[in-house]
Chain A
């Protein structure tokens, strides 16, 4: 891919900008405008008059976040009816992943009709961009993404890597 370079000239600063005082006053003006607009909207809503809703702050984590019905969060590996992981280790998800955060190694399955299975399956959630391409790519519906599991945090980068056992356990 060829890179295009665009030259942008620096904005020139006039006297008013250079002495700052006027800019500080202007900035404060914007802040207060938002404050009073929101205050009015909340009061109107409180006394039952029509109008746009005011901006709201969610009191997370006391109040849980409301996610969209199709939100994509932590991954989950599915099992076949006999309990074995569905994943055939085709590596399509690993190939499509734009963050390159999936690492799979394959091995021969004892069942000749299954042929191939995953030996290890790691997803580095610290690198994942939650695009969902892996779910789309899977030809056997072995990987899905949960809709309501956003509490992904850990004390180290290494702990953000989920292995096959963790991925098979529902969150």
Chain B
């Protein structure tokens, strides 16, 4: 246990670990002291001077991001002297700032706007023209830079140095000409580049995917879990449904990290087609699907993916294992649901919840076929019917082989190639349209909440399984 110290901030007694800075301790306690350059995962260079506070017994204001909390310290962040210091820092940041908020994508969630309205409503005494720099410079596949809006907090350069370790950005020039830019010959294409739009406290780095699609104040936020890989990062899903003409009519506008600080680009940008290629209507009454399943229960194979929630897996097991006593399952992610991994976040399994299936015996008592053996079974006539849950066998095995089947049932949110070949299509909700839980690779069970209404006849997978079972 580290030692605890108690200090006073604006008349309130706060606890801090010994050596923790005043800014960090205040943030932990839910008190906001203005700051730009400090970020809990990127350190405190102390260059933005926004977090100046008055310290009793010290003649000059101090930056709270480099001020260690010690026993008995008395700090004031709201006193006139502290406010004056913060306002001057803000005024300096805005000396060359274009203030083009109407066209700036950060508007509405911008640190400059927030602090100007919150603490620093000053009248500018500046009479000189503003300095100009590069506008709308595309840095890479996801991020665009506006040098004029940059306040040189160095969060972005620290991110590429410490977190992605890819070193594409640097600060060049001195004084008036100092600017963030790409290292010559490089593009900003590391697998975590989207985070830069999040950490840039102003509108200097913005997201190319999200730019100009919808204003941030039209968005609704829902707590969710990224289904991009088995890490299951907590995310906040920002949806745009109030005014459907924005965001090109798509309901999902963007994903932002929650609890943790980062998201990988695959997860962040992987779901922009959330509403496309959807199944829509049920093709036949469930009773017909039930009797087809009855007839084919001996030659049936079931293909499932790790995108099922824990609730889905339970109903899945109850229907196919306990009720129909199906022997052949395929749920291994190889090779269509695996991808690249790294130390930071990304995992090899590109589905969120195979772990939830494993907890119910899939992969231990119940073995998975491989795509190869399933293909041989179909070719050899041992499997004449296939029930596919949110997976695309037509892509892996080829359409020709699937034509051999007598019965193909497809359940999932999107059509894919297989949906087009299926005799019965059962539209299911995708993760943003249902409540549920995913178990990540560490065994952590995490809840995600419904953000959107289901499209068409879509229903949660567990409901479809349960309804099929109820009538058997």
Contact A90 B102, beta carbon cutoff 8 Å: yes
Which range holds the interface residue count of chain B? 10 to 19
Contact B100 A115, beta carbon cutoff 8 Å: yes
Most chain A beta carbons < 10 A, residue from B101, B212, B213, B245: B212
Quick one: which of B128-153 are within 8 Å of A by CB? Answer: 135-136
A108 to B102, CA, bound (A): 13
Contact A103 B245, beta carbon cutoff 8 Å: yes
A90 to B215, CA, bound (A): 8
Shortest C-beta distance, A59 to chain B (Å), equals 43
Contact B246 A116, beta carbon cutoff 8 Å: no
B 223-258 to A, binary, CB cutoff 8 A, 1 in contact else 0: 000000000000000000001011000000000000
Contact A115 B136, beta carbon cutoff 8 Å: yes
Shortest C-beta distance, B287 to chain A (Å), equals 43
A 20-60 to B, binary, CB cutoff 8 A, 1 in contact else 0: 00000000000000000000000000000000000000000
Tell me if A91 is interfacial: C-beta within 8 Å of chain B.
yes
Contact A115 B245, beta carbon cutoff 8 Å: no
Tell me if A112 is interfacial: C-beta within 8 Å of chain B.
yes
A 121-151 to B, binary, CB cutoff 8 A, 1 in contact else 0: 0000000000000000001100000000000
Known contacts A91-B215, A115-B103, A116-B103: A105-B245 contact under CB 8 Å: yes
Known contacts A112-B135, A113-B135, A115-B136: A95-B215 contact under CB 8 Å: yes
Contacts of A116 in B (CB 8 A): 103, 212
Quick one: which of A43-96 are within 8 Å of B by CB? Answer: 88-92, 94-95
A165 to B100, CA, bound (A): 26
Contact A106 B102, beta carbon cutoff 8 Å: no
Tell me if A107 is interfacial: C-beta within 8 Å of chain B.
yes
Known contacts A95-B215, A112-B135, A112-B136: A139-B245 contact under CB 8 Å: no
Known contacts A89-B212, A113-B135, A116-B212: A139-B217 contact under CB 8 Å: no
Contacts of A90 in B (CB 8 A): 101-103, 107
Most chain B beta carbons < 10 A, residue from A92, A94, A106: A106
A139 to B101, CA, bound (A): 10
Judged by DSSP, the binding face of B is loop
Contacts of B246 in A (CB 8 A): 105
- Pick the contact of A88: B103, B135, B243 (CB < 8 A): B103
A91 to B247, CA, bound (A): 13
- Pick the contact of B212: A95, A108, A112, A114 (CB < 8 A): A108
Chain A residue with minimal CB distance to B144? A108
Contacts of B102 in A (CB 8 A): 88, 90, 92, 139-140
Shortest C-beta distance, B141 to chain A (Å), equals 16
A140 to B212, CA, bound (A): 18
Contacts of B212 in A (CB 8 A): 89, 106-108, 116
Chain A residue with minimal CB distance to B134? A112
Chain A residue with minimal CB distance to B107? A90
A52 to B229, CA, bound (A): 82
Shortest C-beta distance, B100 to chain A (Å), equals 7
Chain B residue with minimal CB distance to A138? B102
A115 to B136, CA, bound (A): 8
A83 to B201, CA, bound (A): 35
B 61-104 to A, binary, CB cutoff 8 A, 1 in contact else 0: 00000000000000000000000000000000000000011110
Contacts of A105 in B (CB 8 A): 245-246
Contacts of B215 in A (CB 8 A): 91, 95
Contacts of B217 in A (CB 8 A): 95
Contacts of A114 in B (CB 8 A): 103
Chain B residue with minimal CB distance to A103? B245
Contacts of A95 in B (CB 8 A): 215, 217-218
A115 to B107, CA, bound (A): 14
A25 to B136, CA, bound (A): 78
A-B complex: 7 closest residue pairs judged by Cβ atoms: A90-B102, A116-B103, A106-B212, A112-B135, A115-B103, A112-B136, A139-B102
List 12 interface pairs A-B (beta carbons < 8 Å), by A numbering: A88-B103, A90-B101, A90-B107, A92-B102, A94-B243, A95-B217, A103-B245, A105-B246, A106-B212, A106-B213, A112-B135, A115-B136
Interface residues of B (CB under 8 A from A): 100-103, 107, 135-136, 211-213, 215, 217-218, 243, 245-246
Apart from A100-B243, A108-B212, A115-B136: 12 A-B pairs, beta carbons within 8 A: A89-B103, A90-B101, A90-B103, A90-B107, A92-B102, A94-B243, A95-B217, A95-B218, A103-B243, A103-B245, A106-B213, A139-B102
